[in-house]
Amino acid sequence: MNAHIQAEGENNVIYTVHYMYTGSEESGGTTYSDTNIGTQSYTYVAGEPFVPYEDTEAFEAIVIGWLEDSLDVPAMQANIAANIQSQITPVNEDLYFTWQNPTPPVPPVEEDEEE
């Protein structure tokens, strides 16, 4: 999180929250996952309810609530689920020309010298 040291008469006023939203699914003994990473900005206005920063799980729950109120969580979940399904059942592949992805050279085989 990014915070103003002091703003609008309050200390540690959070203005940006960095988040990572991850989903996973197991299929065929393999776990597939996808993550949405982003930031969400907030503006504190003097007189609005203010929750002082604390390094606690309770405050973390408050910040998660802010994010859930600000972000389109169902759309993020749908996007992550679709990306995971694309990993499980790919519909696209990457193709290269041989000179773009060359095969590593085979090392020479050393022959035993006869004495």
What proportions of the chain, in percent to the nearest 5, are helix, strand and coil? 25, 30, 45
Question: pTM of the predicted model, to two decimals?
Answer: 0.74
How many structural domains comprise the chain? 1
The count of other CB atoms within 10 Å of the CB of residue 80 is 19
The pLDDT value given to residue 53: 92
Distance CA 10, CA 66 (A): 18
76 within a domain of the structure (yes/no) = yes
Residue 53 lies in a domain: yes
Q: What's the mean pLDDT in 35-51?
A: 95
- pLDDT tens string 64-114: 999 999 999 999 999 999 999 999 999 888 887 877 766 667 777 776 665
8 Å CB contact between 94 and 35 = no
In a domain, 84, yes or no: yes
Average pLDDT over the chain reads 91
pLDDT in tens, 25-38: 999 999 999 999 99
Average the pLDDT over 28-57 and give the result: 94
Is residue 93 in some structural domain?
Answer: no
Whole-number pLDDT of residue 102: 63
Q: Does 102 map to a domain?
A: no
Answer whether residue 37 is part of any domain: yes
Residue 39 structural domain: 2-88
Q: With respect to residue 73, please indicate whether it lies within any of the assigned structural domains.
A: yes
- Does residue 80 sit within a domain? yes
